[in-house]
């Protein structure tokens, strides 16, 4: 296996002593990864609190707790915070921590830009969240910011500036990841020998630099429409509000894959470890990720079937969308094939990964239903859509992040987490998340619209069940927080360098916790120890 060189040949400096120097001025990929993960967990709970308000209001028909405008602020902020504040930074944090360790690099290629990428984010979210306290309130037109609705209110400039900052942060993070993966790999770590997680992030980073500027362009035009009297999206002035939807979803659909491709990479690391088998079809997995990324650029209008597209466009986008099921199916079958005949054990990361495969597939199937243009006329803007994307993003993206946290936290902290409490967290989460979201399919099929604070009494029972699931799922995440805090600060159980029996890859050759500096001397890599096995066979 690779010989791990973990110390600098110069003065063996460790982490800076002062708090400010260590965390605010950090250029170390592990510390910046930790900052990203802490930030994302904080945003996860803030966004989760917004979700609790939504589910509390929807517990019963009629107006319960909040004013309708505040409800709309909650749905909008919940999405913005969860997408840009929780899921994306969590994946960037995981990339920061693990990509250099997995490819045998001493750090990210551009460490100072890495620092800037992170520290932009707290300011962006402070500004975004502060709009809730401004006269007139925060954004309430939905995270998609369709004009003219999104242009109401006085907080538009703050929201758009916050989105610009998030975009700049994401683009800089993506550039850093591309530069690191393409240039900083240890000798012998060929592209087709990289772990699937690294591949998934390389492709995700390309998606990011291709579409985040499109979002920036769209919101810039919103800004000029609002404050500089342009009419890009103003029908009265000769503009076209549907144009915004096209531009937004040209960003928005690849954005969905930005939030799921790294999850595919994580699951492709964890399942082989706990099945004690190399991943089945390594190259097919890589090409499937690339195929999904390509297809993500030619399906955007499936979000707009109900807007009045020409028939030819409806048919094209319907078939293009259904095509995504092919590479996604390749991935699902390969994960199952990896498990087939393996010596499986069911530690918490594996449990979350198996739940991911099953529940993400449910989200995928409901996505196929939505891809059918004629059917989408029925489903559009109903709770069926809400159920669909929460299966993809909660039991998909969020579950993969939890799986990754349990899988790699021994390497990060040097301690093992409590397996008992990890499993309690898993079972509590996996049951409650289905109680929360599965009834929403029925609500949607019965015609309940999304983004409303009140509803017909016909929808009462399923909404009550869904809300109970929501409160239960929210409470379950406090267990997650407890497990992490216990593991990092109180756990007595030391983690081995190779924390899992079946784990392979360079990251497991360095001590646990990973030293402040790793791979200052490039490691020597032997193919038979790579996580996906020897691809030359």
Partner 1 sequence: MQDKTDIEMAARLKRARVTALIAGGFAVSVFLLSIVQMLKV
d(CA 221, CA 223): 5
- Is 450 a known active-site residue? yes
d(CA 361, CA 358): 5
Residue 84 as a binder of partner 1 (CB under 8 A): the answer is no
Q: What is the 3 state secondary structure string of 503-533?
A: CCCHHHHCCCCCCCCCCCCCCCCCHHHCCCC
Could you tell me the smallest distance in angstroms from the CB atom of residue 521 to partner 1? 6
Contact with partner 1 (CB under 8 A): which of 49, 157, 209, 479?
A: 209
Query: Binding-site residue total for partner 1 (CB under 8 A)?
Result: 32
Given 40, 170, 273, 321, the catalytic residue = 170
Could you tell me the smallest distance in angstroms from the CB atom of residue 472 to partner 1? 42
Given 55, 226, 253, 425, the catalytic residue = 253
Given 78, 390, 415, 517, the catalytic residue = 78
Tell which positions 189-208 bind partner 1, by CB under 8 A.
none
Given 76, 155, 180, 268, the catalytic residue = 268
- Is 302 a known active-site residue? yes
Indicate the length of the chain as a whole number: 537
Tell which positions 368-387 bind partner 1, by CB under 8 A.
none
d(CA 221, CA 217): 6
Scanning the structure block, which residue is given the tokens 């707790």?
A: 65
Residue 151 as a binder of partner 1 (CB under 8 A): the answer is no
- Is 328 a known active-site residue? yes
Residue 321 as a binder of partner 1 (CB under 8 A): the answer is no
Residue 216 as a binder of partner 1 (CB under 8 A): the answer is yes
Name the one range near partner 1 by CB under 8 A: 104-112, 151-159, 425-433, 496-504.
104-112
- Is 169 a known active-site residue? yes
Could you tell me the smallest distance in angstroms from the CB atom of residue 105 to partner 1? 9
Residue 530 as a binder of partner 1 (CB under 8 A): the answer is no
Contact with partner 1 (CB under 8 A): which of 58, 88, 102, 184?
A: 184
Element (H, E) at 220: helix 196-227
Could you tell me the smallest distance in angstroms from the CB atom of residue 126 to partner 1? 24
Residue 234 as a binder of partner 1 (CB under 8 A): the answer is no
Contact with partner 1 (CB under 8 A): which of 522, 525, 530, 532?
A: 522
Buried/exposed 270-292: b ≥16 CB within 10 Å, e otherwise:
bbbbbbebbbbbbebbbebbbbb
Name the one range near partner 1 by CB under 8 A: 173-181, 307-315, 321-329, 353-361.
173-181
Scanning the structure block, which residue is given the tokens 């049951």?
A: 431
Q: Which residues contact 108 (CB under 8 A, 6 or more apart)?
A: 29, 32, 96, 99, 100, 114, 176, 177, 179, 180, 184
d(CA 211, CA 215): 7
* Rg, C-alpha atoms of the chain: 23
- Is 170 a known active-site residue? yes
Q: What is the DSSP string of 22-50?
A: IIIS---HHHHHHHHHHHHHHHHHHHHHH
Contact 43, 37 (CB under 8 A): no
Contact 522, 104 (CB under 8 A): yes
Given 36, 97, 143, 300, the catalytic residue = 143
Output 29 or 380, the one with its CB closest to partner 1: 29
Alpha helix positions (H), 345-418: 348-371, 373-379, 383-392, 399-413
Query: Which residues are near partner 1 by CB under 8 A?
Result: 9, 106, 109-110, 113, 171, 174-176, 178-180, 182-184, 209-214, 216-218, 220-221, 224, 230, 232, 247, 521-522
What is the set of active-site residues?
A: 78, 107, 143, 169-170, 253, 255, 257, 268, 302-303, 328, 331, 450
């Amino acid at each position: 296996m690779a010989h791990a060189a973990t110390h600098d040949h110069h003065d063996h400096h460790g982490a800076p002593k002062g708090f400010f120097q260590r965390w605010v001025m950090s250029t170390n990929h592990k510390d910046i990864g930790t900052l990203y993960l802490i930030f994302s967990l904080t945003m996860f709970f803030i966004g989760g609190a917004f979700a609790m308000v939504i589910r509390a209001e929807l517990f019963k028909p009629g107006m319960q707790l909040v004013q309708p405008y505040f409800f709309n602020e909650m749905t909008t902020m919940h999405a913005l915070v969860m997408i840009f504040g929780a899921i994306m930074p969590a994946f960037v944090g995981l990339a920061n921590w693990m990509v250099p360790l997995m490819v045998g690099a001493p750090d990210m290629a551009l460490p100072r830009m890495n620092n800037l990428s992170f520290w932009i984010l707290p300011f962006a979210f402070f500004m975004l969240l502060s709009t809730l306290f401004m006269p007139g309130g925060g954004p309430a037109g939905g995270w998609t910011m369709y004009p003219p609705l999104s242009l109401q209110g006085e907080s538009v400039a703050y929201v758009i500036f916050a989105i610009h900052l998030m975009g700049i942060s994401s683009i800089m993070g993506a550039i850093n990841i591309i530069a690191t993966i393409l240039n900083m790999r240890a000798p012998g770590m060929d592209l087709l020998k990289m772990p699937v997680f690294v591949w998934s992030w390389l492709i995700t980073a390309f998606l990011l630099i291709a579409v985040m500027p499109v979002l920036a362009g769209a919101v810039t035009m919103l800004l000029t429409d609002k404050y500089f009297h342009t009419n890009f999206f103003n029908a009265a002035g000769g503009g076209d509000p549907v144009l915004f939807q096209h531009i937004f979803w040209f960003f928005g659909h690849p954005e969905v894959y930005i939030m799921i491709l790294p999850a595919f990479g994580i699951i492709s690391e964890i399942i082989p470890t706990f099945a004690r088998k190399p991943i089945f079809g390594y190259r097919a997995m890589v090409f499937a990720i690339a195929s999904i990324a390509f297809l993500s650029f030619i399906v955007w209008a499936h979000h707009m079937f109900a807007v009045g597209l020409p028939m030819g466009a409806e048919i094209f986008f319907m078939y293009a969308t259904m095509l995504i099921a092919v590479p996604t199916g390749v991935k699902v079958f390969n994960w199952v094939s990896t498990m087939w005949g393996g010596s499986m054990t069911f530690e918490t990361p594996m449990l979350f990964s198996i739940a991911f495969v099953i529940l993400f597939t449910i989200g995928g199937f409901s996505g196929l239903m939505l891809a059918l243009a004629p059917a989408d006329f029925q489903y559009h803007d109903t709770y069926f859509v809400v159920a669909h994307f929460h299966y993809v993003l909660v039991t998909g993206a969020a579950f993969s992040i939890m799986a990754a946290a349990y899988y790699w936290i021994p390497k990060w902290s040097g301690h093992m987490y409590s397996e008992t409490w990890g499993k309690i967290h898993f079972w509590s989460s996996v049951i409650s998340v289905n109680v929360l979201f599965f009834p929403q399919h029925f609500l949607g099929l019965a015609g309940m619209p999304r983004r409303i604070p009140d509803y017909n009494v016909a929808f009462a029972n399923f909404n009550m069940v869904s809300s109970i699931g929501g409160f239960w799922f929210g409470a379950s995440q406090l267990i997650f927080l407890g497990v992490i805090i216990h593991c990092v600060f109180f756990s007595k159980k030391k983690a081995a360098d190779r924390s899992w029996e079946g784990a392979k890859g360079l990251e497991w050759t360095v001590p646990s916790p990973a030293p402040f500096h790793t791979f200052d001397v490039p490691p020597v890599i032997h193919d038979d120890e790579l996580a996906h096995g020897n691809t030359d066979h």
